[in-house]
Chain A
Amino acid sequence: MANGWAPFIGLVFVVLFCVGAWFLSPKGENQTIWRSTLVLSAASMYIMWAITFLAQLHPLISPYRKDLRDPEQFNRIF
């Protein structure tokens, strides 16, 4: 499934972003703070997104509910 490649594609983007953040951070005494904050934010946000994505890649259970009034309409709306 092509879907499975999404985390890697995301990784490439995040790495590119991190490289960009590293070199484009404003110069001056706060450069370290800029770099660390941007890179770490991107990394942690990516990790959590990837985990969430992976958890749903091959789900072992599917949603189930009893109280749906009109599944057809529900499918159309959302």
Chain B
Amino acid sequence: MAPTKDTMFRSADMSLTQLYISNEIGREVVSGLGELGVMDFRDLNSETTAFQRTFTQEIRRLDNVERQLRYFHSQMDKASIPMRSIYDFNNSFTSPSATEIDELADKSGHLEERIKSLNESYETLKKREVELTEWRWVLREAGGFFDRARGQTEEIRHSLDDDDAPLLQDVEQNGQGEAAGDRSFSVMNIGFVAGVIPRERIAAFERILWRTLRGNLYMNQSEIPEPIINPENNEESSKNVFIIFAHGKEIIAKIRKISESMGADLYSVDENSELRRDQIREVNSRLSDLASVLRNTKSTLDAELTAISRNLAAWMVIIKKEKGTYQTLNKFSYDHQRKTLIAEAWAPTNSLGLIKSTLADVNDRAGLSVPTIVNQIKTTKTPPTYFKTNRFTLAFQTIIDAYGTIKYREVNPALPAIVTFPFMFAVMFGDAGHGVILLSAALAMIYFERRLQRSKLDELFSMIFYGRYIILMMGIFSIYTGLLYCDAFSKELPWFKSMWVWEKRGDGYGATRVEGHTYPFGLDYRWHETDNDLLFSNSYKMKLSILLGWCHMTFSLMWSLVNSRYFKTPIDIWGNFVPGMIFFQSIFGYLSFTIVYKWSIDWVARGVNPPSLLNMLIYMFLSPGTLEKGVEPLYPGQAAIQAILVLLALFCVPVLLFLKPFYLRWEHNKARGLGYRGIGESSRVSALDGDDDEGPHLNGNGNGRESFGDDEDGMAMITEDIGHGEEHEEFDFGEIMIHQVIHTIEFCLNCVSHTASYLRLWALSLAHQRLSIVLWDMTMKNAFGFTGIPGAIIMVVVFYMWFMLTVAVLCVMEGTSAMLHSLRLHWVEAMSKHFIGDGVPFEPFSFKVLLEEDPVE
């Protein structure tokens, strides 16, 4: 067979292919096909759960490796070591061998252990360091208290003996009064607790202590000037050193408990200043030891991570591909005895040659004598819809696909939309200046395409970047329509000789026509800033919208003819397209004709008042056969022609309504009369059914999964479990009739409402023009009123304001709204005329897609 070239006009021609792959090279074959990315593998094991599939073990193993790689990545983030970018590799990720994958898995396992142990020791050391630092602070601060308190035991004693002392304290004190003379706390039976507590808890801590001990304590605290870093989460916190004196073992124990529950860390401090000095010295030396160990550990860890960072991106890509490969392999059916994998996939017919050569390559490399067999299967199943897109067409195809998946081999609305979508936009956005801004934005994005594609963009900008070629077309057409509207930043462009000459008339100025001269391109600039320009431009833009709408809808309706010719359904031509077209043309085609006709007649020269077209259309339906009273006819015989057109339109309605259903019924009855029956009407043919609920398999190979041909006698295996999606609808006349009634009503009403809907072209272009005029008048026009140096300063400021507002409001906001309206005109007004759209999207197994969906940084 000689497949025709695939174009964007119709989706690519697809074939269902069957692959018989030797088990040994299954992985290599699939990864080779993944690089190609043109095969949409069907799931042949849809009845088995994910856990029962053949390659679940491998996928789990790869999941684990992936997790380890992610762990490395997070560790690198923590240590702020950058990963070598994916783009720095010379794209050498082509399918690694199985042993390489094994090595990688082992390696990442080892590395994970190593990193983990390094991390653990680092964290323990860090914790130790923090403890030591805190202890040092406690020693230092508490030492201060002690030194101060040492000379004052007498006073303390006194105060304890005071009569004001609380009752209980007094009672407790009784037994100890005699020993108080000694100059030591321990002898006074005063114990103390020292430690460190987060600063924000200090108030609560004090309050709780005060309440539970009823004031029987002496607390001293001081702030640690530098923040303490928690090694577990790297958070800084400021802490206070406290030391609490109290007497009685129970009270001390109580204080200990309270402080521990408040999250304080307690440290032992010796009372003796000599000992304390030793302690401090010891702590200091331990700290410095620790710091050097820490530095070593950290540098080892960093070195380890840096080494990993060089290859991490490549590993991630490799593992992702490997996982995708196994997930695809899981879709294959698997013959244990014969060691053959059987796969079914949709592939573009044009790519079959490429697929075959890839398979041969893989076979050669593996040095296998058994070739991989590619079979094409004839099937009744609907093939998936696939359009090969490029940078330019991708965005246009996406906006059409957003509405619905195009039916297989149907006319692709995206192809004309490349022009009509930006053009409709430009009709609403007609301003050459704003068009230039759009165009330069698009050109900048296209110029820096590669760089922008690689950098991380935020959501909004990446959306704009995605549509850069749409914006390019929008910009070009906006400049064109802006020139036609004679608007550049709301100012006129006097490029040709005007057809009007000003002269004094009454209290103002009127224009007289230069005889025989019509402004050659676009609107005459002398309409700008006149008192009646809206009168003229409204009439012009309204008619422009109707005419463009008529063109666009007729154009779209024609595609339904192309579709029904392609799908060989002549009844759709005679039952839908022809009556629909006649209906549409006899009303709105006629309206368009009269608009152009009225323009082409020189009514002033004739000395006749031109008839109103709006009234004409109304009278055409209200009283067919007669014209509005007291109004000149547009042309002789107008009344008769209008009556005929209305009758023609009315006649088309029953044709539209009945022809197709009755034809289908006739056809069905004829087929039944000849003895044909629909499949499934009486008995089901089992091959198309789900396999497991069948009786014994046709060829007796009862492995419960597939019905395999048992040898090489050329008998194709039937692995198509096509029966799942396929239902042979029974003929139901009522349903078809209802469907057609809906279609008829919808079509006739839509002709009216859609034509009216195109008036949005007028409304939006009017709004856009008025808004830019208002913006100019409010800013720049006022700024021109000043002169001299203040005038210059004001001008600069106002100019920036005007320009920012132009970009933000007129280009971005207005542009978005015009784009949405243009989108609607395509989705609703145009596509409803021909779009069938019950296709299945083509989802090829492709590493490229896989990596795009889940990018590696």
Contacts and interface: CB of A to CB of B under 8 A. Distances in A.
A48 B427 contact: yes
A75 B536 contact: no
Contact of B604 (A45, A48, A58, A74): A58
Nearest to B419: A40
Contact of A32 (B9, B531, B536): B9
Contacts of A1: 516, 602
Contacts of A62: 500, 510-513
A32 B411 CA distance: 13
A49 B420 contact: no
B812 interface: no
Contact of A64 (B393, B477, B511, B525): B511
Interface in B586-620: 596, 599-605, 610
Interface stretch (B23-31, B540-548, B681-689, B717-725): B540-548
A54 B547 CA distance: 12
Given A33-B8, A54-B600, A57-B599, A63 B511 contact: yes
A3 B516 contact: yes
Interface string B238-276: 000000000000000000000000000000000000000
A71 B499 contact: no
B498 A37 contact: no
B165 interface: no
B800 interface: no
Given A48-B548, A60-B603, A63-B526, A30 B513 contact: no
Output the residue of A33, A44, A66 with the most chain B CB within 10 A: A44
B503 interface: yes
A53 B535 CA distance: 17
A45 B548 CA distance: 11
B388 interface: yes
A54 B601 CA distance: 10
Given A36-B416, A44-B423, A75-B502, A58 B599 contact: yes
B484 A4 contact: no
B530 interface: yes
Contacts of B520: 6, 53
B519 A56 contact: yes
Contacts of B175: none
Nearest to A74: B502
B502 A68 contact: yes
Contact of B420 (A40, A48, A78): A40
A1 B507 CA distance: 33
B801 to A, nearest CB: 26
Contact of B418 (A33, A52, A58): A33
Interface in B34-74: none
B416 A60 contact: no
B548 A75 contact: no
Contact of B480 (A45, A54, A65): A45
A73 B495 CA distance: 17
Contacts, number: 150
Nearest to A40: B419
Given A3-B517, A57-B600, A37 B418 contact: yes
B412 to A, nearest CB: 10
Nearest to B503: A71
Nearest to A39: B419
A57 B604 CA distance: 12
A14 to B, nearest CB: 14
A36 B500 contact: no
Interface residues of A, number: 41
A54 B418 contact: no
B494 interface: yes
Nearest to A62: B511
Interface string B479-502: 011001000000000100011111
Given A29-B7, A36-B419, A63 B527 contact: yes
Interface string B419-434: 1100100010000000
A63 B600 contact: no
Contacts of B505: 64
Contacts of A60: 603-604, 610
Given A44-B419, A56-B518, A75-B502, A65 B604 contact: no
B518 A52 contact: no
Contacts of A2: 516
B600 A4 contact: yes
Nearest to B544: A51
Contacts of B536: 59, 61, 63
B504 interface: yes
Given A52-B484, A65-B509, A78 B494 contact: yes
Contacts of B503: 71
Output the residue of B415, B419, B427 with the most chain A CB within 10 A: B419
A71 B57 CA distance: 89
Contacts of B521: 49, 53
Contacts of B13: none
Interface string A17-48: 00000000000011111001100110011011
A32 B8 contact: yes
B144 interface: no
A33 B8 CA distance: 7
B551 interface: yes
B531 A64 contact: yes
A12 B6 CA distance: 32
Contacts of B419: 36-37, 40-41, 44
B768 to A, nearest CB: 16
Given A58-B604, A68-B508, A29 B416 contact: no
Given A29-B6, A33-B7, 20 more contacts: A1-B516, A2-B516, A3-B518, A40-B416, A51-B547, A54-B600, A55-B540, A58-B602, A58-B605, A59-B513, A60-B610, A62-B512, A63-B524, A63-B526, A64-B509, A64-B530, A64-B532, A65-B508, A68-B509, A71-B503
A-B pairs, top 5 by smallest CB distance, nearest first, are: A66-B508, A71-B502, A40-B419, A32-B7, A54-B599
28 contacts: A3-B517, A4-B600, A29-B5, A29-B6, A29-B7, A29-B388, A33-B415, A44-B420, A45-B423, A48-B484, A48-B544, A51-B543, A53-B520, A53-B521, A54-B600, A55-B539, A56-B499, A56-B518, A58-B601, A58-B605, A59-B536, A60-B610, A61-B532, A63-B511, A63-B532, A65-B509, A66-B509, A71-B502
Interface of A: 1-4, 6, 29-33, 36-37, 40-41, 44-45, 47-49, 51-68, 71, 74-75, 78
Interface of B: 5-9, 388, 390, 392-393, 415-416, 418-420, 423, 427, 477, 480-481, 484, 494, 498-505, 507-513, 516-527, 529-533, 535-536, 539-540, 543-544, 547-548, 551, 596, 599-605, 610
